Chain A
Amino acid sequence: MNPSVKIVFFRGQVPAAVQPWHGHAFSHLFRLTGTASKRERRSFYDTFDWHAYEKKIAIIRKKHTLHTISLDSGLETAYVELSGSPASFFVREIPAGQVREQLSACSGIRAFSKIASFDVVQKTSRIVDNNAKTIGFFLEEEYSTAGKNIEKPFFSLCSVQPLKGYQDEAEEFSELLASHGSFGDPFDFRELFRLLMNAAGRKIQGYSSKISLHLDPEASAHESARKVLHSALSTLKANEEGLKNNIDPEFLHDYRVAVRRTRSLLKQLNGVFSPEDTGYFLAGFSELGKRSNNLRDCDVYLLRRDEYFNSLPDFLQQPLDRFFIDLEASRKRYHRQFCRYLESDECRTFFSDWGRFLANPALPGQDRAPGASLPSIEIANASIRKAWKKVVRRGRIACREATDDELHELRICCKKLRYLLEFFASVYPVETVTPVIRQLKELQENLGTFVDYAVQIRFLREKLETIVHGPESHLFAASTGGLITTLNRQKEETRALFHKAFRAFDDHETRRRFSELLENESLK
């Protein structure tokens, strides 16, 4: 609405000098009236990767309602009735309306989890002008950690919340308040949010699935690779709890990406580590990948539930219910199995070995790892060049017939190149590496979509082949056939677009960019 309206906060308790303002005119301009007190619990929610914060939204649950607050202004933008006190919830569980729309824009897949809870004692007074018109609210609040017992407040503040159209008057009131001296500088809601998250031990935007490293191009390749692998291990560990607690499918997704990145780096950086060491770890990470494949497949199909239903006519939708019920049951089983594996001695030993390996800065012997002591930039250049050439070679082969297998192979090559570019992005100038990644991303999108369709078709075909004859099996077969037909059409449309996507990648401009990236000696 009015972008200039903003709540102003002051740290500290209301000074004694201000207390008599309640019910009395304290200046010729304003008066405080209609004071009311309440105690309420406020729970803050966000996704694991802070999507709401990124969209400048704070999500707060009060007694029976869920509110969205603008981080910029501190003003409520929408609210909705929400019973219970869920540890986490999905957007689809929120009744249709503004809140749901706002949260959908943050993330449709991720769960919103409780990140902090406080008990707040709030005293609210109306600020009225000399025309007896309310111009805003004066709030005094005391925050304490939420608990069964009433905890001592750790933070007190008061705030001035203007009504729409009364920002100037509210500012005047704030200045009067500030002139009483015992408050610090006023601050805004974003700062309050930061203070509260600190108090709850939360680091805002403390997790991101994206790689954000600052590598030294001249540092040894061994040191840089360990840094990258360390970052992947942190991602693994950060996602483990959410994965085990089954909060949303993205925990497993990010976990598996970190596993793939680790394997990819170990495999591609030939000569940086001793092959005897990497063999053991590659096998371990491969095991983690394999053991979570079925679970991820179930997640992927469950996420497509609406898409599947919507692509079929009404009478073919109902037979799919059974399919998804079975899928959910299988998912439960696979989740249990995978969690059991994560808790197993084998897995624990593997990770403690891996941790020790990464913590060891000693360079492996020159004979076993001749690339370990070379500058990172040299190894990065060589491995990226090799991976890029492989993509181009494979792509040119695929350009003739573009068979399913060729496109699948090419997709894997692209992934490997992408990981390398992301690992070593920080050793290259941003303006050179960003367009290269962007160009590759476009090709990957086409290949990713294609392989996705191909995998779904194979999965459904297997289902079709194992149908047990029963009273409704013909309907399920018809539904599956309908889905396969739709997916196949989409797959062929994507295949047709491959040539264009690859041409855009294998063109003069991309070649020039790669050459510039790999041959430019002037580093950042």
Chain B
Amino acid sequence: MKTLALYSIKGGVGKTAAAVNLSWLSSGPQSPVLLCDLDPQGASSFYFRIRASKKFTGEKFLKGSKKIIENIRATDFENLDLLPSDFSFRNLDLELSEEKKPLRKLRKNLLEVGENYRYLIFDCPPNLTLLSESVFSASDVIIVPVIPTILSMRTYDQLTGFFKANGLDTTKILAFFSMVEIKKKMHRDIVAEINGRPGFLNSMIPYSSDIEKMGIYRSPLGAVHPGSPASRAYLALWEEVRSRIGD
């Protein structure tokens, strides 16, 4: 089982779209996938038309694998399950802080869950809290979407800085450019400047109205528009991630 986290300190960078599409692309008969929607906004759950049970709360999420397994729901796509988010997940960091070993809690809870899956993918909330740290500890790679803008690059630097300051393994971070509008000079310049930097993937996801329309179709892009440029870009991104994690 490999654990992948889609993470960004900054919101609105295409994190959930990437989580949904990478989950869909990575799933198959030999590789069942569980997408864990940790973001209290529940956008991944929304994309798959899944609502969490009213009884499933952040507190229960931390109770152990049994509670998690009970709340896993099948998406409309074979071999792709989802652990839906709940609004109460906004307090997950508070709940975690009461745990004895908060950084290990997530990994421990997911160990048994992971027996049934080849990939576990986290869609994380856009902040840097105890929950994020717990995700960093539980994940094999942290996939970070970065818009080629000054502010977005700054949050990427903040993240790598945080990793270094806390003695975490920075090689776990795999960044990629997201929502790229190549006609914009700043995007072109930043992409050119960063090109080839270790920790950055070569694949880029273009800015695309097809991706925005995922909210209308409520489905992964590849399932609706398999031939679209954005769909192909996600496929290339997945292939690159897969080779980087040695799968």
Residues of A within 8 A of B (CB): 1-2, 131-134, 163-166
Contacts and interface: CB of A to CB of B under 8 A. Distances in A.
Nearest to A126: B76
A164 B72 CA distance: 7
Nearest to A81: B29
A395 to B, nearest CB: 48
Interface in B112-140: 116
Contacts of A1: 69, 72, 116
A515 B50 CA distance: 68
B76 A2 contact: no
B72 A133 contact: no
Given A1-B116, A131-B51, A132-B218, A165 B76 contact: no
B74 to A, nearest CB: 4
Contact of A131 (B49, B72, B73): B49
Interface string B26-70: 000000000000000000000011110000000000000000011
B71 interface: yes
B81 interface: yes
B51 A164 contact: no
Given A131-B51, A133-B48, A164-B74, 18 more contacts: A1-B69, A1-B72, A1-B116, A2-B72, A131-B49, A132-B49, A132-B218, A133-B49, A133-B76, A134-B76, A163-B73, A164-B73, A164-B81, A165-B50, A165-B73, A165-B81, A166-B73, A166-B74
Enumerate the 9 nearest inter-chain pairs by beta-carbon distance, A residue then B residue, closest first. Answer: A165-B73, A133-B49, A163-B74, A164-B74, A134-B76, A131-B49, A165-B72, A132-B49, A1-B116
7 contacts: A1-B72, A131-B51, A163-B74, A164-B74, A165-B73, A165-B81, A166-B74
Contacts of B48: 133
Contacts of B81: 164-165
Interface string B72-106: 11101000010000000000000000000000000
A133 B46 CA distance: 10
A165 B49 contact: no
Contact of B70 (A2, A134, A163, A166): A2
B37 to A, nearest CB: 13
B70 to A, nearest CB: 6
B79 to A, nearest CB: 11
Nearest to B81: A164
B210 to A, nearest CB: 20
A134 B49 CA distance: 9
Interface of B: 48-51, 69-74, 76, 81, 116, 218
Best-surrounded residue of B48, B74, B76 (most CB of chain A within 10 A) = B74
Nearest to B30: A97
B203 to A, nearest CB: 31
A132 B219 CA distance: 11
Nearest to A4: B70
B219 to A, nearest CB: 10
Contacts of A2: 69-70, 72
A164 B74 CA distance: 5
Contacts of B69: 1-2
Best-surrounded residue of B48, B69, B116 (most CB of chain A within 10 A) = B69
B120 to A, nearest CB: 15
B41 to A, nearest CB: 17
Contacts of A131: 49, 51
Best-surrounded residue of A2, A131, A133, A165 (most CB of chain B within 10 A) = A165
A387 B49 CA distance: 72
Contacts of A164: 72-74, 81
Nearest to B71: A165
A166 B73 CA distance: 7
B116 A133 contact: no
Contacts of A134: 76
Contacts of A166: 73-74
Nearest to B48: A133
Contacts of A165: 50, 71-74, 81
A164 B51 CA distance: 13
Nearest to A163: B74
Contacts of A133: 48-50, 76
Nearest to B51: A131
A381 B71 CA distance: 60
A57 B65 CA distance: 26
A165 B75 CA distance: 10
A165 B51 CA distance: 10
A2 B76 CA distance: 17
B125 to A, nearest CB: 22
A170 to B, nearest CB: 11
Contacts of A132: 49, 218
A62 to B, nearest CB: 14
Nearest to A5: B74
Nearest to B113: A1
Contacts of B70: 2
A163 B49 CA distance: 13
Nearest to A131: B49
Contacts of B218: 132
Nearest to B53: A165
Nearest to A129: B49
